[in-house]
Structure 1
Amino acid sequence: MQEITIIGKRDVLDLVHLRSFVSIAQLSSFTLASQKLGLRQSTVSQHLQRLEQVLGRRLLDRDTHGVRLTADGEALLPHARQLLSLERQTASLFEAAQPRGRLRLGISEDLVSGQLPALLQDFIADYPAVELHLTVALSRDLADMQDKGDLDLVFAKRRLGDRRGEAILREQLVWLTADPDAVLATPILPLIVFPPPSLMRTLLMEALERAGHPWRIVCSCQSLSGLTAAARAGMGVLVQPRNLAPSGLRELPPSALPTIEDVEFVLVASPRADRNTIAAFTHLVRERLANGLRPVR
């Protein structure tokens, strides 16, 4: 299926053009959209122009600050996603091994924001026969649950050198705060951290101990949203992967505090998990994250 006829118009909507439009809308960038689709940027621009010509409406506005949807673009976006989802579902009917059944998925707290909602939305739309059970927790807790047989697939962090799971991307950890000057003026560094057994808590404390930098914990919380709220309130510093840093916080200069060891995000599949479902989710994760984060080479 490549074209959808619009009643009352002599032209048709081309799914290739819709795919370019949706990618631009998701990534807010013609450059990133072209990289995701494996097309030249000029080709993606032509797709959008043709789509606007067919509809007789302007769908995107571009200025020095980036790309944003017009009111007509906002109206089209959910319908475009629905049409593309229908195309994928139709194609999947003829695949020999269609993912189906239950997927017990564990996700690290760090990944809850950012691209996760859109990733899950695409996965559910592409594979409606899969029943998704989602658990959000610290990486170590997810590993323990998986070892007990409670999770089929875990998307979480590991320390460099660990061998558990398939590495998807490597991320630099950075120090974040609402007011860098105020934090750096304190003789004892105020820390906002996950409780044990948090990997990032371990790594940042190791970095501070090696440098002999004094510290104290001012806030500990299981939830990233809680830690972010404390950091935005100016209570202290929070450590997060650079490309997953919450909005409203500023990164401290590299020379201000000790460098923290990088982490890797990995997918860990249980031996008894359905191979087709795991492969489908892994493919979608790589496709999503390759455009917004640095994939492991």
Structure 2
Amino acid sequence: MSRPDLDPDLLRAFVAVCEHLSFTHAARRLNRTQAAVSLQVQRLEERLGVKLFRRSTTRVEMTGVAESFLIDARRILTLSEQAVARLSHLRVAGQVRIGVMEDYGTRVIPRLLPEIAEIFPLVQIEMEIGLTARLLKRLGSSFDVVLAMHPEGAGKGDLVARESAAWVASRDHGTEHTDPLPVALSYPDCLFRQWAIEVLNASGRPWRLAYVSQSTAAIEALVEQGLAVSILKSSMLGQGLRRLDGSSGLPSLPGAEIRLHRAANISPGAALVADHLTQKLRQRG
């Protein structure tokens, strides 16, 4: 009996549906129609001779077979991507200068760099951490690539992730009940600082700017000690912090987008690295 051929396109559709539990969201991620993704999954099920999803009008659920197969599907796709990348990118060389926000620069990008180093062994990465507004001013002169945060729907560049801004406080202290409310924020050109001041002033709640630091790590430490509340990305909360909900009395915050910007004069090698970063950041989301 012949074994089924595992078409990478079918595997990508399967993995996308597993990660989103939605054919609609999977189609958006793959830039295809929902009908096309559904057909690809159906073809994969026919080739494997198994049922991968239980579908209703309101939800999509993975079967036990799908949960096991997901591990293998991801491994197959990763090996395939790495093999092709090694052949096509082995001779790419030069320097790639990246500007990135602190939280992404310390928690997200470092996890992607080992794979970049493997795929592009002759490329030298230089990374600098800073505030979005300041980094973008140096795109082209100091940086080939800048990973920056923008208000939802307002930024240019390649969209790689969506983030929700969250009021945060210490897990061990009820700082949000202090009057006036102590707040720890970054410098004036920080988007989260601008949002905090706007919504707090509009709410009429008494507050004070208790601490100012460009360092996200320093702000997190201050908040964890119960000295202030602050705004962070929901995906970046440390163990000593908690997200404040509507019961805290704090005003709601806008949505944010993470976008990758490329210099107009970016080199072909740096563009390939930017392509890889864009792909991996989107997969993370």
One of 252, 255, 259 as aligned partner of 1:266: 259
One of 57, 68, 72 as aligned partner of 1:42: 68
Which residue number corresponds to residue 124 of structure 1?
A: 117
Per-residue CA deviation, residues 212-234 of structure 1 (Å, 9 max, x unaligned), is: 12211111111111111111111
Is 2:177 aligned against 1:151?
no
Per-residue CA deviation, residues 138-174 of structure 1 (Å, 9 max, x unaligned), is: 1111012226x11110011012342332221221101
Q: What is the one-letter code of the residue matched to 2:256?
A: V
Secondary structure of the 1:172 match is: strand
Structure 2 Cα separation of the partners of residues 183 and 216 of structure 1: 13
Q: Which moved more, 1:149-158 or 1:238-247?
A: 238-247
TM-align CA RMSD: 3.3
The alignment of Structure 1 onto Structure 2 pairs a total of residues equal to 225
Is 2:230 aligned against 1:238?
yes
Structure 1 Cα separation of the partners of residues 85 and 118 of structure 2: 11
Q: Which moved more, 1:116-125 or 1:172-181?
A: 172-181
Residue pair 1:99, 1:280 contacting (<8 A) in 2 also: no
Shift, 1:100, TM fit: 2.4
Which residue number corresponds to residue 7 of structure 1?
A: none
Shift, 1:288, TM fit: 4.2
Change in CA separation of 1:47 and 1:144 when aligned onto 2, cut-off 3 Å? closer
TM-score (norm 2): 0.68
Residue pair 1:171, 1:242 contacting (<8 A) in 2 also: yes
TM-score (norm 1): 0.66
Structure 1 Cα separation of the partners of residues 264 and 73 of structure 2: 43
Equivalent residue runs for 1:66-215 within 5 Å: 88=82, 91-95=84-88, 99-146=92-139, 149-179=141-171, 182-215=174-207
Shift, 1:289, TM fit: 4.4
Shift, 1:208, TM fit: 0.9
Change in CA separation of 1:208 and 1:289 when aligned onto 2, cut-off 3 Å? same
Is 2:275 aligned against 1:282?
yes
Shift, 1:93, TM fit: 5.0
Per-residue CA deviation, residues 199-253 of structure 1 (Å, 9 max, x unaligned), is: 1100111111121122111111111111111111111112111112223101111
Q: What is the one-letter code of the residue matched to 2:178?
A: T
| Sequence identity percentage | 24
- Give 5+ residue unaligned stretches, structure 1: 1-30, 49-82
- Give 5+ residue unaligned stretches, structure 2: 1-17, 30-40, 45-65
Which residue number corresponds to residue 9 of structure 2?
A: none
Change in CA separation of 1:93 and 1:262 when aligned onto 2, cut-off 3 Å? closer
Residue pair 1:123, 1:281 contacting (<8 A) in 2 also: no
